[in-house]
Chain A
Amino acid sequence: MLLLMKYSRAIAALVAVVPLSDSVSAKDEFPPASEVFRYAVESDGATLTVYWDVLPGYYLYKERMGVASTTPGVKLGKPCYPKGETHHDEYFGNQEIFRDDFKVTVPLSRPAAAREGKLDVKLSLQGCADAGLCYPPTVWNVKVKLPANAAPTVSPAS
C-alpha cells in the first residue's frame, strides 16, 4: 500500500509539470487534495495508525488535523504526532506543519470481547502548497478493518 502511494506520488509530480500552450500554464495548476495528501490507515485493535504521504512542496497544518471515530462503542484517544516543522504565518503566528511521510498514532478502546469489524473514521485536515495555494478544511470518511479482540485470559486458580 505504502509502495503504491510512493509511485503514484512520483507520477503525479511528473504530470503536474507538463507544459501547456494555453493561457493557463502548468505551473498554475494544482492536483486535487486527494492526490496531494495521501494516506493509509490501519489498526491492530489497540492503536489506530494513519500513515500520511504528502506530495513534495505541500504541507499539512497540525492544528487543523484530527481523527475521530463515528462507530458506536469505539473510542479514539488523543492523537500522537511526530515533531513537525515550524511555519511562520503573519496572521496566525507560528504553526506546526508536516511534510512528506509521517505517521499519527491514536489509542483505540472498545469492548473487551469485540469481534472483527469495521471502524468508521473521520480524518480532518487542511494544507497548502509552497507555490501559493491552500486547500479548504476538509473531512474524509475512512473505513478501517479492526481485528477481533483476543478473548480475555483467565489465570488458573492457585
Chain B
Amino acid sequence: MRALFGIGIVVIAAAGGFLASRYWLPEVSKAPSHLPALTLPDVEGKPRALAEWKGRPLLINFWATWCEPCRREIPLLRSLRATHAAEGLEVIGIAIDFRDPVIAYARQTGIEYPLLIAEENGLAPKAFGIGGGIPVSVFVNREGRITAIKPGTLHAKRAEELLRPILQTP
C-alpha cells in the first residue's frame, strides 16, 4: 500500500514537472540571467550591439507590425520612456518583422526609441530564451541582469511594478 502511495507521488511529481516545463515557466526558465551579447541592425541598417546600452535600465520589447497587441502597447512604452527619462530608462524595440514595414510604421507613429530589426528567423528571441508569441517585454537592470520577462500585453500598473527593481540605483 505504502509502495503504491510512493509510486503515485512519483508519477504525480513527474507529471507536474512535465506540465510545469510546458506551461508554467517554459521560456523564463531558459532565459539567460544577463543581457545576451546580441547585435542587430537598426532601421538604417547600422549594426547595434545591446551592450551599447549597458549601465542603463532597459525595457526590451519584442514586437511586430503584424501584431495588433504589440502596436496597441507602443503608446504605453513611449509614455514609460518619457516618465522615467531622468532615471535613465531606455526602451528598445526588437521587431520580429522586416525592415520596410517597420520603417513605414515607425514613420507613421513617430516612435522615438531605438528599433532593431530581427526579422522572423527567431534567433533574437532565442538569445533571450523566449519563444512563442509576442509582445514580450524584458526588464534589464543597470548591471545587465534580466529581472523579469513579461509575455503578452503590458499594462501601465504591471509595467510600473516590473520597472521598479530596474530603476533603483545601486
Contact = CB atoms under 8 A, between A and B. Distances in A.
Given A129-B133, A136-B120, A91 B68 contact: yes
Contacts of A131: 152-153
A74 interface: no
B76 to A, nearest CB: 12
A136 B23 contact: no
B65 interface: yes
Given A15-B23, A91-B68, A133 B133 contact: yes
B23 A128 contact: no
Interface string A10-22: 0010011010101
A30 B68 contact: no
A78 B92 CA distance: 41
Given A33-B133, A91-B68, A134-B69, A23 B148 contact: yes
A27 B150 CA distance: 10
B133 A134 contact: yes
Interface string B129-150: 0011111000000000000111
Interface string A114-138: 0000000000001011011111110
A55 B149 CA distance: 24
Interface residues of B, number: 33
A29 B72 CA distance: 19
B68 A128 contact: yes
A30 B132 contact: yes
Interface residues of A, number: 31
Given A133-B134, A133-B151, A26 B24 contact: yes
Contacts of B66: 92, 126, 134, 137
A24 B25 contact: yes
Contact of B69 (A32, A33, A132): A132
A128 B151 contact: no
Nearest to B122: A136
A92 B65 CA distance: 10
Given A29-B25, A31-B22, A133-B135, 10 more contacts: A18-B23, A35-B22, A91-B65, A91-B68, A128-B68, A128-B69, A133-B133, A134-B69, A136-B64, A137-B120
Give 7 nearest A-B pairs by CB, closest first: A132-B153, A132-B69, A133-B133, A134-B67, A135-B133, A133-B152, A132-B152
14 contacts: A15-B23, A24-B28, A27-B152, A28-B150, A29-B25, A29-B26, A30-B152, A89-B68, A90-B72, A91-B105, A92-B66, A128-B68, A133-B152, A136-B64
